Amino acid sequence: MTATAPAAEAAVRKSSPGAARGPRRRPGRIRRIGLPYLLLLPALLLELLVHLVPMVIGIVMSFKELTQFYIRDWGTAPWAALDNYKVSVDFDAPVGEALLHSFLVTIAFTLLSVGLCWLIGTAAAICLQDTFRGRGLLRALFLVPYALPVYTAVITWVFMFQHDNGLVNHVLHDQLGLTDKPSFWLIGDNSFVALLTVSVWKGWPFAFLIVMAGLQNIPRELYEAAALDGAGMLQQIRRITLPSLRPVNQVLVLVLFLWTFNDFNTPYVLFGKTAPEAADLISVHIYQASFVTWNFGTGSAMSVLLLLFLLVVTGAYLVLTSRGRRAPHA
Amino acid sequence: MRSIRAAATGAVILSLALAASACGGGSSTGGGSNDSPEELTYWASNQGASIEIDKKVLQPELDKFEKQTGIKVKLEVVPWSDLLNRILTATTSGQGPDVLNIGNTWSASLQATGALLPWDAKNFDRIGGKDRFVESALGSTGVEGQDPAAVPLYSMAYALYYNKQMFADAGIDGPPATWDELVAAGKKLSKDGKWGIGVEGSNPSENIHHAFVFAKQHGADFFTADGEADFTNDGVVAAVKQYVDLMAKDKIIAPGNAEYAQNQSVSDFAKGRTGMLLWQSASANLESQGMSEDAYGIAPVPVQSGTPGAGKQVNSMVAGINLAVFKNSDNLDGATKFVKFMTSDAEQKILNTAYSSIPPVKAAQQDAAFDSPADAVLKDTLAKSAVALPQVPDESQFETAVGTAVKELFADAAAGRAVTTASVKAALTKAQQQMPKK
């Protein structure tokens, strides 16, 4: 068997360049245009099944009065017209007020988390740009939070945040004496800080990874030329590194924003089904409205509103950032 | 260009077709049948210390059932945290088990979905009649005046567990019978890093069970006679305040308990860190954590004054597990036979012994196996002084809303913020506003 292999390989190699240019490789117009779509079809079908169909169902649900009385056969649930939306955006009534509160908490949380993730990730990537002994090890270590399964990582944080036996209080209170008494991290106001800590810990390695990739594309000559012209390290970062990273950062910040804004796993594992008020992120809030309060109609309406908000923000962001990028060339 | 348009049209038609079929819901609208008489699927709730232990307890019984009837039962043990969502999903999709366990407090909520087989007189006759079951257990099988949505399987009640050695060391004569006595005993116990009593402050269900009993003792209810939420009446406010005050004012609960939700208070009790615990069927759990049975005593949950009994002297909710049948089962006869088997006198003895619960079947309850001092307390409580949680369709929402309000109040108490009548009322007002409008 092995003896024939090289011969066959040689034959293929010899014949293949000719075959590619041969007259038979000139298909009809329909086939040429149709083939890519045919190849895309499986992906399109799956996309439909996994994303579009549930989305359409969700939108339909948001116009229905869907409670425990109708979930068995939700097609028969009475139409609610815009009631679910009205309840969700009536900020003087309890449901709307709670949704607004949760929305504002989520905005504050997302801005802080994305900002910190970006800052730490970029700083780490720049520090590791030059080769030195142990760089590979550090790079690998930095990616650990990104590689761990979310549940495992967050449940470990839960243990560390425990009031009585947690590592966080042990260090802050017992060892450093920074607090008068052990603090609560998983209930009350501090829960926001706990949530932010875990989110940044989990998110920055991704920023690090992307920025590090972006840095590879900046020609070394630019830095050498700048150094010759007398630019210091900070000036090099400001005038070369950051502008060159712009396209990378544009995507990075958007992706981080969307992930953080919609993050469900972190708060759910940290706090369970009912989050403390200070850390009531919108994803868990909507889950609670749907699956704990059993008001699937209102929950769907909230989801649709959230989707619209994210679409608007993403659209505006893309328009603004791409305009800024094109401006110098115009 | 034409092919793009064709592809787009195809995609839209396909999505509409899929959406339409999803709308139809397929089998979920269908009634039950006896099309597949040889097999059953059973979702058991996680009762033992682990899912593996449950399988070991249940599998021999299922084998026995197969031998008697020729029906094979496929068992799945579902953890508590997933059970309600799994049932909801099964209800929506119509793709559920034939027989399932439900927490008895969910009976009315799940009854409202219309997915469970109603237990009318005819169905009850097939499992030996309604009078075989204890009255209080039947009280948590659905809305009053309607056919029950489930049949009682295991009964439980709250009791006061106390550490005999710690009581002796602190010079306390015996278990407290009233809350004043409990607070006094708690104060004697709370020193040198030890505490009087433990609670699960971040567990909404646990909170609601205690808030409910305190409300009953104040002669108050969370719902009006016509099922409207009434969380802010004076009795309820006083009741919730009295419960949270055990930490906030009396300081006999460690502040750290405010974030407990994983049964840490049971571990604290087993390790001798707290002297008392209000719990249902803790024996097996305590034993697995190395606390021997003679190290602790079991007494009825305290009342405001006197002894537990009917009326204001309620000292437990009716806790337990019910057995329900999905209406769209394709083996309705087999499912009924299985319910008959599981609630038979013999099986009731075996299962309730294994889970240290009390049989809701009268004949089985009389058995000598349930005569230990602990069981005597639980049996007495269930017979005389336990009341079922409100049997209203909104029960599930009520549990979350009020349970979470109490959780936030415990968080305040732990952080040293004042818990006042006004702050309790504000928290309960917010909870009531979250209830669905009628």
Q: How far apart are CA B202 and CA A274, in angstroms?
A: 9
Judge whether residue B25 has pLDDT over 50: no
Position B30 scores a pLDDT of 54
> Which of A44, A93, A164 has its CB closest to that of B11?
A44
DSSP designation for B29: G
Contact B388, B200 (CB under 8 A): no
Judge whether residue B130 has pLDDT over 60: yes
Position A12 scores a pLDDT of 44
Position A230 scores a pLDDT of 87
Position A11 scores a pLDDT of 44
- Chain B residues in contact with A53 (beta carbon < 8 A): 15, 18-19, 22
User: E strand or H helix at A211, and its extent?
Assistant: helix A191-215
Q: How far apart are CA B91 and CA B94, in angstroms?
A: 5
Q: Higher confidence at residue B5 or residue B22?
A: B5
A→B contacts (Cβ < 8 Å), by residue, are: 30, 33-34, 37, 41, 44-45, 48-49, 52-53, 56-57, 60, 67-69, 71-75, 93-95, 98, 162-164, 184, 186-189, 272-274, 276-277, 288, 291-295
Query: What distance in Å separates residue B264's CA from the closest CA in chain A?
Result: 11
Q: What is the pLDDT of residues A35-63, one digit of tens each?
A: 888 888 999 999 888 889 999 999 999 99
Contact B318, B104 (CB under 8 A): yes
Q: Are the Cβ atoms of B3 and A30 closer than 8 angstroms? A: yes
ipTM of model over 0.90: no
Backbone phi, then psi, for B198, in 5-degree steps?
Answer: -115, 150
Minimum mean pLDDT range among B128-132, B281-285, B378-382? B281-285
- Chain B residues in contact with A34 (beta carbon < 8 A): 3
Q: Kindly state the average pLDDT of the residues B251-272.
A: 93
Position A24 scores a pLDDT of 53
Q: How far apart are CA A175 and CA A161, in angstroms?
A: 15
Contact B51, B79 (CB under 8 A): yes
Token pair 């309840």: residue: A87
Mean pLDDT by 10 residues, chain A (330 residues): 44 44 56 82 90 91 88 84 90 89 96 97 90 86 88 93 91 89 90 96 94 90 89 88 91 94 93 89 91 87 94 92 57
> Which of A74, A276, A288 has its CB closest to that of B92?
A74
Q: How far apart are CA B414 and CA A301, in angstroms?
A: 36
**What's chain B's length in residues?**
438
Q: Kindly state the average pLDDT of the residues B253-278.
A: 94
Rounded to whole angstroms, what are the CA distances from B115 to A155, A235, B333? 35, 69, 17
Please, which pLDDT band fits residue B188 given cuts at 50, 70 and 90? very high
Q: Are the Cβ atoms of B396 and A60 closer than 8 angstroms? A: no
Q: Are the Cβ atoms of B15 and A52 closer than 8 angstroms? A: yes
- A-B Cβ pairs (cutoff 8 Å, strict): 123
Interface test with B, best of A84, A90, A187 (most B CBs within 10 A): A187
Position A233 scores a pLDDT of 86
Identity of residue B212: F
Q: Kindly state the average pLDDT of the residues B58-74.
A: 96
Reported for B305-311, long-range contacts at CB under 8 A and 24+ positions apart, including other chains, are: B305/B178, B306/B178, B307/B177, B308/B381, B308/B384, B308/B385, B309/B384, B309/B385, B310/B384, B310/B385
Backbone phi, then psi, for A137, in 5-degree steps?
Answer: -65, -45
Position B80 scores a pLDDT of 86
Position A17 scores a pLDDT of 45
Q: Are the Cβ atoms of B430 and A94 closer than 8 angstroms? A: yes
DSSP designation for B370: G
Position A129 scores a pLDDT of 83
Position A285 scores a pLDDT of 93
Minimum mean pLDDT range among B72-76, B198-202, B259-263? B259-263
Tokens of B231: 């969380």
- Chain B residues in contact with A276 (beta carbon < 8 A): 408, 411
Rounded to whole angstroms, what are the CA distances from B74 to A32, B92, B347? 53, 21, 18
Q: What is the pLDDT of residues B344-380, one digit of tens each?
A: 999 999 999 988 899 999 999 999 989 888 889 999 9
Reported for A25-32, long-range contacts at CB under 8 A and 24+ positions apart, including other chains, are: A30/B3
Position A201 scores a pLDDT of 95
In B33-116, which ranges are continuous DSSP H helix? 51-69, 80-93, 107-113
User: Comparing C-alpha atoms, which of B359, B371, B389 is closest to residue B211?
Assistant: B389
Question: How far apart are the two ends of chain A, measured CA to CA in Å?
Answer: 64
Interface test with B, best of A61, A158, A292 (most B CBs within 10 A): A292
CA angle A271, A277, A279 (to 5 degrees): 55
Position A22 scores a pLDDT of 46
Position B372 scores a pLDDT of 87
Q: Kindly state the average pLDDT of the residues B411-423.
A: 94
Q: Are the Cβ atoms of A67 and B436 closer than 8 angstroms? A: yes
3-class DSSP assignment, residue A166: coil
Position B356 scores a pLDDT of 85
Q: Where are the beta strands (DSSP E) in B168-304?
A: 195-198, 274-280, 296-299
- Chain A residues in contact with B430 (beta carbon < 8 A): 94
Question: pTM of the entire structure?
Answer: 0.84
Average pLDDT across chain A, whole number: 86
Q: Kindly state the average pLDDT of the residues B264-292.
A: 92
Q: Kindly state the average pLDDT of the residues B85-112.
A: 92
Q: Are the Cβ atoms of B255 and A68 closer than 8 angstroms? A: no
Query: What distance in Å separates residue A222's CA from the closest CA in chain B?
Result: 46
Token pair 């090099």: residue: A236
> Residue B389: left (phi > 0), alpha (psi -120 to 50), or beta?
beta
Tokens of B108: 């009315």
Interface test with A, best of B28, B85, B207, B259 (most A CBs within 10 A): B259
Cα-Cα-Cα-Cα torsion B329, B335, B336, B337, nearest 10 degrees, comes to 150
Q: What is the pLDDT of residues A287-306, one digit of tens each?
A: 988 888 888 899 999 999 99
Chain A residue with the nearest C-alpha to that of B17: A53
Chain B residue with the nearest C-alpha to that of A161: B259
Position B302 scores a pLDDT of 97
Q: How far apart are CA A181 and CA B15, in angstroms?
A: 59
DSSP designation for A289: I
Contact A231, A239 (CB under 8 A): yes
Q: Higher confidence at residue B178 or residue A164?
A: B178
